[in-house]
Amino acid sequence: MRVRPCLVALASIVSAACGSAPPPPPAAPPSVTAATPVTASAAASAVPAAASAPSAESLVPLPPLPPDVADLQRAVLASRGAVDTVSSLTTEVGARLAGSPADKLAVAWAIHAMEERGLTNVHAEPVKVPTWQRGVETAAIVSPTPHVLAVAALGWSGATPPKGVEAEVVRFDSLDALKNADAKTVTGKIAFIDVKMERTSSGKGYGDAVPARGAGPAEAKKKGALALVIRSIGTDHSRFPHTGSSKQKDAKTALPAAALSVADAELLDREIAAHSKVRLALNLGPKWLPESDSANVVGEVAGSEKPGEVVVLGAHLDSWDLGQGAIDDGAGCGIVLEAGRAIAALGHKPRRTVRVVLFAAEENSLAGGTTYAKTHAADAASIVAALEADSGTDRVLAARYTGAKDARARFAALGPLLAPLGVKVEDSAAFGGADVSPLRGLGVPVIDLEQDFSSYFDTHHTANDTFERVNPEGIQQAAAAFATTAWAVANMDGDFGRVPEAERASRF
């Protein structure tokens, strides 16, 4: 399936998307017909064998899948819907940094995509987003051995003087080392944080390394540095630098800050080890502009019995500006749109409403998720659970939950439904994605469907984040897992209660 929004009508679509009020919800569809039992042999043939991950547990006979779940999984796994969605978004929109002209194009694309996939009550909810624009970015070792380096400004970086800066580099192997450094050793120099990210299937290595990017610029500024460069927060050894946000929000005081490609950071490290004193030239020219209009785009499969109770499937529509935004987060858009399409096409509606939300401005501010939570604070109690797809295109490995303690058994009941996809339900807590974390703060239960992160950070936030990075089998399995979970939660008896007050704090 390909989405080709009419470019002639784009201006009017975008105007409506970013400024109009949401349309009234549609009437509730007819009630669900109870599913009939399915035999073990029918269940075994319902989902392709390739969807199952071999394990010791696979030797234990699984109970038959309900026919609706088997149909849903079979339809998604046999489809290229998620793959084609990413192809459409990356081809027809491409990079879509919040506040850019492509951001508005993406909103129009999303409205059309939801309508084409059979979602109803499709509308855009306005969001004000900050606007930061990348400019010139160059870096080079000046002495003792000249080398041109591959570099990318970090989000919210300040600008160097027009002719750039040149200074001695002082290296730190961690953010804490910079924090503990004597300011005299940093003042007037270019600080270099050289944190090596560990490759893990869980993504833990990213959580350990990313504070150097987020907090590093502010710490370097406190120490009197002229600028900061970091080793890219990534697991590759290419010359594609990884951008990403830094926690600088004031254009007047922001320090020039950039990421070197991993290969060039290692080159700089070797130069410093060999020669002690190394001089670096850096020129960054980003601009901070006034806020822009964007939108969260929403579409639904309305519930048949409890349309006012909602399961949220989220992903973020924006991307960084270097590549095409394929794995981050075109993949997430593909996963949740395909899940919504498959549920809408199933032939009978879920008991509760399944709501797909494509959030604005996740990368540079979380403005979309924050605005959504504020806008829907009064009806947060009606959101039964929230899930977010923002982990690339590889398979879902595990499912986790955070909600009321006495509702954990209901979550555990998802295990037999997800097992044919090779997904294991685990006891550890879910965090919720960045965009649904403000909903968690309101007590909304969250479910994490954790994908395999082993290769995700090879291309994350780089110019190499292109459609070619998509794993077709992985993304369709992920879409099947999201569809299965959303359908099961929308149809379950009872709910997940509320997240306890002590567990509502966000990690973002």
Catalytic (active-site) positions: 362
| Cα 318 from Cα 362, distance rounded (Å) | 7
DSSP for residue 488: H
Report whether 434 contacts 366 (CB < 8 A).
yes
Q: In what order do the strands lie in the sheet with 120-133?
A: 120-133, 287-301, 352-359, 306-316, 383-388, 446-451, 396-402, 424-425
Q: How many CB atoms lie within 10 A of CB 144?
A: 12
Is beta strand 137-143 parallel, antiparallel or unpaired with respect to 279-284? antiparallel
Asked whether the beta carbons of 18 and 294 are under 8 A apart, the reply is: yes
| Burial of 163 from C-beta contacts in 10 A (0-12 / 13-18 / 19+) | exposed
Report the DSSP pairing between strands 190-193 and 227-231: parallel
Whether residue 83 contacts residue 472, with contact meaning beta carbons closer than 8 Å, is answered with: yes
CA distances (Å), 217 to each of 198, 205, 223, 319, in order?
22, 20, 10, 22
Phi-psi region of 360 (alpha: psi -120 to 50; beta: other; left: phi over 0): beta
Residues 395 and 452: beta-carbon distance below 8 Å: yes
Question: Residue 466: in which H helix or E strand, if any?
Answer: none
H or E, element range at 319: none
Please identify which residue in the block is written with the tokens 């096409």: 345
Say whether 81 sits in a helix, a strand or coil: helix
CA-based nearest residue to 447, from 389, 374, 393: 389
What is the Cβ-side half-sphere exposure of residue 349, based on CA atoms within 13 angstroms? 21
Coil/strand/helix, residue 124: strand
Q: Phi and psi of 127, rounded to 5°?
A: -140, 130
